[in-house]
Every structure is written in C-alpha cells, then in structure tokens.
Amino acid sequence: MKLGEIFEGRVRGVSSDGLGVVEAPDRRVFFAPATWTGDVGRFQVVELKRRHGIAKLVEMIEASPSRVVPPCPHHGWGEKNCGGCVWQFASYEAQLVAKQDRVEQALRRARLDVSAKPILPSPKIYGYRNRAQLKTDGDRIGFVELGARRIAEVEDCLVLSESNRKHLRSLRSELPRRDWKPRPPHPWNFIDIDEDFSNAELVLNKRRPFRQANTEQNVVMREWLALRISALPKEWHVLELFAGSGNFTEIVCAHGFAAICAAEVVDEALVALRAKNLEGVTPVAADLFQDAAYARIKSVFPRAELLVLDPPRDGLKDKAGLLATYPELRAIASISCDVATFTRDLTDFIAAGFKVVELQPLDQFPHTPHIEIMAWLER
C-alpha cells in the first residue's frame, strides 16, 4: 500500500485507543478513526509505518449494526471536535462487548490461564463524571481535539455531572480572560474541576486531589473490596500502595485490621488522608517509583499480610523489591486502570506464587476505551 491509496475493507475490531482495525488487501493492518467492528467501507491510507498504518474512512459501504447517533454536538474526529468520548457513536452494549474482548485478549496474549468475569456496566452512561480537566487559552475553554494539540471549544459536556456542567458554564461566562492566556511554548492552561470546585478557589495548572471519576462505580469498587476482605483475620497487617486521599483506606479501616500503612506521594492527598484521622492507619509519604521506597516503608511498617494496590497507568514498578521486602504477603487486592500494565503486573505476581481467585472488569468511563480491572489474588 502507498500513501493516498484507497482500498476496501471490513473493520474487524477496535484498538486500545478506540480506533477501528481494518486489514488492507496486502494484509497490512490499518487503524481507522470513526469506525466500528462490522463497518465495511473504502479507506484511504494517510500514514504508513513499518508494520501498520493509519487510514481514514472515505466511503461507508455497509454500516455496523452497532452504530448509533451521538447526542453530543462536539463529538467527532475533525477540526474543532472534542476528542474525549471517541466511542459515543457505538451503542453502549457494543462498547461493553469490546471492553470485555480487550481484557480477554490481553490475558490470552500474556498466556495467563485466568478467566475474567462479565464486565460491570456503569449505571449512568451520561452525567457520570465527577471530575474533569478543562483547557483554556483565555479566549476559549474546552477539551483537546483528537490527534491534535488544539483546544476544542465546548459549550456543554454531556458526560459531566450536573454540578460540573454548571462549573463549565460559569467558567465560560468569564471569557475572555487575559490572565488565563498561556505562556509560550505552552498551548493552553488547564483548570481541574470536581464536585467540590468553586471559582473562588480557581488556580490555573493546579491538580486537584485524585478521586475515582464515576461516583456510582466507585461505590461498586468499594463494595467489591469490602466483600473480599470481610473474612480475613483481623490480626493481619495491611499495606496499601498509592492510597491517595483514602478512598479504599476507609474500607480497609472499617474491617478493623490490626495495623494499616497507607503509602502515597502526592502532598495534597496525604494532607486529606491525614485529616480523616482513620483509626489504626499510618500514612507514609513514599514515591513508589523510587528504588528506596520499600525500605523506607519497611522502617515504619515491618510486616504485611494483605496488599491493597491501586496504581496509576504505569502500574507497579518494582514488584520483586516489594515481594522481597514483604515475603509474608498472603493476599493482594489489585485495582488497575490500564489493561496492559495490569496484565504485566499480574504475570509477575503469578510467577511469585500467587493465584488469581477473581478478576472483575468494570466500566468507569462509558464512550471511551478505558477499563477498570479489580483482581483478588491469594498465595
């Protein structure tokens, strides 16, 4: 295939970043935005790489039966279109199937003999986001165009909670703002909003404390953890990594374990965690991507039988160091927002003698490819 060449093909699946996967006549794989499994169309090659390429749909021959009309006027793949909810043109049922398939394919690729339970759907597919990050250049406010470093101005966002939609409208009413203009070479400033946000406390480019973005699904995740730890001995010691401001620490604390260590690196999160004054919990400031982190934690928390883990997308860096520092670990509650790093970490835990008792996918972000995974492991 050559740049500009047009070929006919059928979309056979969707990629981890939400693009349709289509095979050209020469068997090269192309990723095509704005397409879904089952679409048949004519595609034009717009980018070529060594083993794959990017193609755009130029003519739809047969549309997938999973397609729906997106309700958001800002949805799309062109200039001025928001790149947030890339799957909004597919039915929610089809989105769940794609996410389930992605988890199962990742487990097969990692050669893990593990079964995933059916994904838990979000009770709300609109109005669910309790936090978001807006971009502004002082004249516009919105999100980012797909595949471009440009602001896509939005008047409203249907996935935001009602209070966050009000925050967006309020911020729009203040435009233009000269003091919101970015300094070169930055294309924008950002404004974090959440349920507790107010314009009076607005600080540009300051991240607000992390929170799970889907309130209803966070309840499900907390209930899942509570059920898994309910039968564990209360004399166990618990190590929680990436504790944040204590979302899961509260659940662990409620069980009445003998001792709990909650490790976190973000100062604002630690302040919020300490302010909760949870009984039996020792907050520890530790950068878990630094080699000396576990030695530091061990000095104040010498043993642990249960590990509760909720890392960022990068996953857990030094599992060997962790397991060597805490060889008495008996069980792991692993919560992850990234399929690739989750399966990598899971492989290492299994190699260290742990067995997956349960693996539960959960949809926290409808209309996006993102998946949350919860796993319970026992040695």
Please list the residues that pair with 373 across neighbouring strands. 336, 361
Domain's final residue, options 201, 223, 255? 201
Q: What would the pLDDT profile of 334-343 be if each residue is shown by its tens digit?
A: 999 999 999 9
Instruction: Give me the long-range contacts of 203-207 (CB less than 8 A, separation at least 24).
Output: 204/180, 207/268
pLDDT exceeds cutoff 80 at 373: yes
Tell me which residue has tokens 């990017």.
54
Q: Tell me the per-residue pLDDT of 241-256, one tens digit each, with 9 for 90 and over.
A: 999 999 999 999 999 9
Looking at the fold, whether 337 and 304 belong to one and the same domain comes out as yes
Residues 246 and 178 grouped into a single domain = no
User: Is the domain of 142 the same as that of 178?
Assistant: yes
Same structural domain, 225 and 327: yes
- The pLDDT, as a whole number, for residue 99 is 97
Is the predicted pLDDT of residue 147 greater than 80, yes or no? no
pLDDT of residue 201: 84
The pTM of this model reads 0.94
Catalytic pick among 82, 85, 157, 337 = 337
> What DSSP assignment string belongs to 248-309?
THHHHHHHT-SEEEEEE--HHHHHHHHHH--TTEEEEE--TTSTTHHHHHHHH----SEEEE
Cα separation values, 343 from 13, 69, 77, 106, Å = 20, 34, 30, 7
Cα separation, 195 vs 193, in Å, equals 7
Place of tokens 């890392």: 311
Q: Distance between CA 354 and CA 40 in Å, rounded?
A: 44
- Residue 366: per-residue pLDDT: 98
**Whether residues 223 and 138 fall in one domain:** no
Structural domain span for residue 165:
131-201
State whether 366 and 252 are in the same domain: yes
CB-CB contact of 8 with 61 (8 Å): yes
Residues 184 and 312 both lie in one domain: no
51 dihedral zone (left: phi>0; alpha: psi -120 to 50; beta): alpha
**Same domain (yes/no): 11, 37:** yes
Residue 306 pLDDT more than 80? Answer: yes
The Cα angle at residue 215 between residues 214 and 216, in degrees rounded to 5: 95
Residues with Cβ within 8 Å of 42's Cβ and at least 6 positions away in sequence, in order, are 6, 7, 8, 57, 58, 59, 61
pLDDT at 107: 97
Q: Residue range 359-364: average pLDDT? A: 98
DSSP code per residue over 173-206? TT---GGGPPPTT-S-EEEEEETT--GGG--TT-
Note if 261 is an active site residue.
no
Alpha helices for 11-140 (secondary structure H)? 92-109
CATH number at residue 27: 2.40.50.140
Same domain for 253 and 366, yes or no, is yes
Report the pLDDT value the prediction gives residue 128, as an integer from 0 to 100.
98
Among 144, 165, 22, CA closest to 86? 144
Same domain, 139 and 276: no
Give yes or no: residues 247 and 307 share one domain: yes
Question: Would you state the pLDDT for residue 78?
Answer: 80
Residue 352 lies in a domain: yes
How large is the average pLDDT for residues 111-135?
Answer: 97
Number of structural domains (the chain) is 3
Co-location of 224 and 367 in the same domain: yes
DSSP SS3 for 28: coil
Among 79, 175, 83, 163, residue whose Cα is nearest residue 136: 175
